[in-house]
Structure 1
């Protein structure tokens, strides 16, 4: 490519059509150009390319657990994570995700470390690239009956069962599933250490957030769209004002319910 015959505007237009992975072919040509404005374009591409290499190195480290299992002969490895163990309302949602070997997903990470907008983008990419995705949802009434830990495990098992192909190995974020006949490893902070678990954390989080956004339309007085059911000041104030909705977890709100009953005030259920 002969950039010397092109104006700066034309060079920028050309570069806009080039993938970052291909920048390495053009950086020397741009930086050796006599025009300072063109040299600056080359420097800018060099920074973008270096950033991409750093991101690829970071993501590659997330494949450590999966690569060991691939080397051991396992072909279908599912990462499992949940969203919604802590909120005062709504379901707990688990996701199981099977990724193709060594796929690169730029920006993938623990869902809690990613902005809402970035999670939505990654949700779409993961959905497109994954070999399989299963989702398990357990409602607030079941959570109250069997407790949140057991409900979380139930959601995870349902997510595994909904995969189109049964996995040969499970990588799970900090949980062990005792009554499922699949080899598994629980990894503390797995959503920051395993790419499959990170992918599952994003699928679970976005799925649950969308559920809570729908509940907001049914119960707008609680502002679920803002806090997704977590115990924010706004949420507690709305509970005190309007009582419990049908999707609140009563087992999480015993102190508030008890206080209201002790005050001989009617509690809205």
Structure 2
């Protein structure tokens, strides 16, 4: 009996889809390249309102990262960074759960520049690895804009990894007052201020500046203006 053209085509199609052992092969799915994301760093001196500003961006739907959160993760129990910190500073620096006790570590590193540099050499690479992985995830998700709060952006030379930089600022006496309100002694507060670049230097290098010495509403309006400009930049064809 003569086969119909349709029957022959069907068998030929099945044969074409079969592998070398007769099993059908899966069709290859096209891969979508990562979408470029506008990488924005948020920096500024300690107690200049970075956390508040980051939260404003987050509430406006912008994917956000906090380097301090990443540092907390790096110093949790069982990480390589925690093991290296314990080896350098002694096991007494660990909390009962095996994580780094930041309350014990803080007075040591903020009173001794060499100790602070040793800590940064351990923690910063881990933080930036986590940051890089998060940025790649944003790209794969199709996000066009992200903001990362990185207090020591300029001190670590990481500004070249970002497309734009925002600096928060307020007068130094207000920084000191805010730190004391957080429970630090004035001496401890001054040590933390001295451990970072002066805010004015960060402001001079930033693309955008947000002042936080006014009302919350005034700060929010600045965030809205910056965000509008960033969204315009992220939508420009590359």
Q: State the TM-score, normalizing by the size of structure 1.
A: 0.24
Q: State the TM-score, normalizing by the size of structure 2.
A: 0.26
The structure, 1 or 2, with the larger RCO (C-alpha pairs under 8 Å, 6+ apart) is 2
Q: Which has the larger radius of gyration?
A: 2
